[in-house]
Amino acid sequence: MAVSWLKKLAEYVCILVAVSALIFFMIHLFSPTDPISVIVGGKGSTPEIIENARKKFYLDQPVWKQYLIWVQGILHGDWGVSYKYQTPVLESILSRAPVTLGLVIGASVLSVGAAIPLGVLSAVKKDRPADRIISILSLVLAAIPPFLLSLLMVFALSKAAPQYPIAGGYEGVGGYLWRMLAPCIALACAKITITLKVTRQGMIEEMKKPYMMNVEAKGMPEANRIWKHGLKNAVIPVISILSVQIGAMIVGAVLVESVFSLSGIGSFLIDSIKASDYPVVQAIILMLVIVFLLASAAADGLYSLIDPRIRARKGK
């Protein structure tokens, strides 16, 4: 057990080191923009100011040394300083985290919560009207970009419920939840298709397996077959796409945030890319990679929680 976890951990550390190096060196070696021009903003810069900035951001050091300084900083909780705002990156990210985190978690819960029952229903009623309606719906949702769906939602809300806060800040936990509801629904709908399809396919295959006939021969009611035996087996492929789905959610959040004028990490990332604010860009991307790895670790854990065969293999 411990060995397999250590192996996994080593793999994750390798990926993190590789990704962080890749991002850092690519940005610092290839980017067309000179960081100094971003830092001093181009207005009235004296050689002295430039020299100070160079020192402050370690730009006078060779790139590999800058990388080491960056990594060392991260290990000590210092994710660097923004070129544009001259403030610590971590602080800015954390202040925007509730929006993005809420959006991603809320939308994930909503979309999985809707996709699994709908997928099961669709599989059980295969080729019947209910299945067709769900299939067409998921087909259309797969083709709607998240920003368009959000836009439609903003449009509909401003016509139907003008008092709903589609822009601006929020107050208190209730206000936060209320404000986040619409973007979460939009994002959940935009990203529901894959989970739904995988659930449906898994369920259809599961219901065809020989042991299902056995469960039926035992006289167990249909609900037992579907929700106890079928679903638990069908959920396994859903877990395998979990980390990919989280990634899709994060990117979707970037698009949804901008439409609902939420200032989250996503829009921060895009603004920083446009402004060539590299410390922010590399910090956010590294953080997202960490989130992916956490998600795939969680998926791994869920696997062995559900499937005794995987537990047995790991135990060896």
Partner 1 sequence: MENRELLRVDGLCTDLITARGLYHAVRGVSLQINEGEILGIVGESGCGKSMTAKSILRLNQEDKTFYKGAVYYQAKDGEKEILKLPKKEMNLLRGKEIAMVSQNPMAAFDPLYTVGDQISEMICYHKKIGKKEGMEEAARLLELVGIFPGEKRARQYPHEFSGGMLQRAAIAMMISCSPRLLIADEPTTALDVTMQAQVLEILKKLKDEMHMSVLLITHNFGVVAEICSRVCVMYAGQVVESGTVEEIFRDPIHPYTRALIRGIPRRGGGSEPLETIPGTPPRLNQEIPGCAFAPRCAVAKESCYTCSQEIWSNGSHWSRCAGAAMARSHAEEQQRGGRAG
Partner 2 sequence: MKRMKRKTNSEGTLWTFPFILAAAVLVIVFATTIFAPFIAPWDPNQLDLRQIFASPSPEHLLGTDKTGRDIFSRILFGGRMTLSGAFAVVAISMILGIPAGLFAGYYGGKADKVMMWVTNIIVSFPPLLLAFVFVAVFGSGFEKVVLALGVIYVPMLARTTRSIVLTQRNQTYVEAVEAMGYGTGKILFKHILPNCMPTILVQVTLDIGNAILDLAAMSFLGLGVKPPVSDWGAMLEDGRVYLLTQPLQALAPGIMIVVTVVAINVFVEEIRKYLNPSERRLPTYRQLVKRGLIAEEAGR
CA–CA distance, 85 with 101 (Å, rounded to integer): 23
List binders of partner 1 among 277-316 (CB under 8 A).
306-309, 312
* Whole-Å CA distances, 9 to 2, 3, 86: 10, 10, 34
State yes or no: residue 205 binds partner 1 (CB under 8 A).
no
Pick from 205, 214, 213: which is nearest to 233 by CA?
A: 205
Nearer to partner 2, 53 or 254 (CB): 254
Least Å distance, CB 72 to partner 2, is: 23
**Using the rule CB under 8 A, is 191 a contact of partner 1?**
no
264 three-state secondary structure: coil
Tokens of 201: 């396919």
Q: Which of 10, 13, 140, 161 binds partner 2 (CB under 8 A)?
A: 140
User: Out of 220, 227, 251, 301, which residue is the one contacting partner 1 (CB under 8 A)?
Assistant: 220
Q: Considering the rule CB under 8 A, would residue 37 count as an interface residue with partner 2?
A: no
**Phi and psi at residue 24, to the nearest 5°:** -60, -50
Q: Are 103 and 183 in contact (CB under 8 A)?
A: yes
The residue among 185 and 295 lying less far from partner 2, judged by its C-beta, is: 295
**Residue 221 found at the interface with partner 1 (CB under 8 A):** yes
Shortest distance, position 232 Cβ to partner 2, whole Å: 24
The answer to whether 107 and 149 have CB atoms below 8 angstroms apart is: no
Main-chain dihedrals φ then ψ at residue 83, nearest 5 degrees: -65, -40
User: Which positions touch partner 2 (CB under 8 A)?
Assistant: 15, 23, 26-27, 30-33, 127, 139-140, 142-148, 151-152, 154-155, 158, 243-244, 247-248, 250-251, 254-255, 258-259, 269-270, 273-274, 276, 278, 281, 285, 288-289, 292, 296
